[in-house]
Chains A and B, each alone.
Chain A
Amino acid sequence: DTEVTQTPKHLVMGMTNKKSLKCEQHMGHRAMYWYKQKAKKPPELMFVYSYEKLSINESVPSRFSPECPNSSLLNLHLHALQPEDSALYLCASSPDRGPTDTQYFGPGTRLTVL
Chain B
Amino acid sequence: GDSVTQMEGPVTLSEEAFLTINCTYTATGYPSLFWYVQYPGEGLQLLLKATKADDKGSNKGFEATYRKETTSFHLEKGSVQVSDSAVYFCALIPSGGSYIPTFGRGTSLIVHP
Q: What string of 1s and 0s marks CB contacts (under 8 Å) between A23-46 and chain B? A: 000000000000000001111010
Q: Contact check, B106 vs A99: say whether CB atoms are below 8 A apart.
A: no
B95 partner residues in chain A, CB cutoff 8 A: 99
* Count of chain A to chain B residue pairs whose CB atoms are closer than 8 Å in the complex: 54
Of the residues B31, B41, B44, contact of A43 by C-beta under 8 Å: B44
Q: Contact check, B51 vs A99: say whether CB atoms are below 8 A apart.
A: yes
Q: In the complex the two chains form, what is the Cα distance from A56 to B100 in whole Å?
A: 9
A97 to B: closest C-beta gap in Å: 5
**Interface size (A, Cβ < 8 Å)?**
24
Q: Contact check, B106 vs A40: say whether CB atoms are below 8 A apart.
A: yes
Q: Which of A14-22, A68-76, A77-85, A105-113 lies at the interface? A: A105-113
B32 partner residues in chain A, CB cutoff 8 A: 99-100
B105 to A: closest C-beta gap in Å: 6
Q: In the complex the two chains form, what is the Cα distance from A2 to B103 in whole Å?
A: 23
| Main SS class of interface, B | loop
B70 partner residues in chain A, CB cutoff 8 A: none
A4 partner residues in chain B, CB cutoff 8 A: 43
| Interface residue ranges of B13-66 to A (CB < 8 Å) | 31-32, 34, 36, 41-46, 49, 51
Q: What string of 1s and 0s marks CB contacts (under 8 Å) between B81-113 and chain A? A: 000000101000111101111011110100000
Q: Contact check, B106 vs A108: say whether CB atoms are below 8 A apart.
A: no
- Residue of B whose beta carbon sits closest to that of A110: B41
Residues of A within 8 A of B (CB): 4, 6, 40-43, 45, 48, 56, 90, 92, 97-108, 110
Q: A56-B100, A104-B46 are in contact. List 5 more A-B contacts (CB 8 A).
A: A6-B43, A40-B87, A41-B106, A101-B93, A103-B46
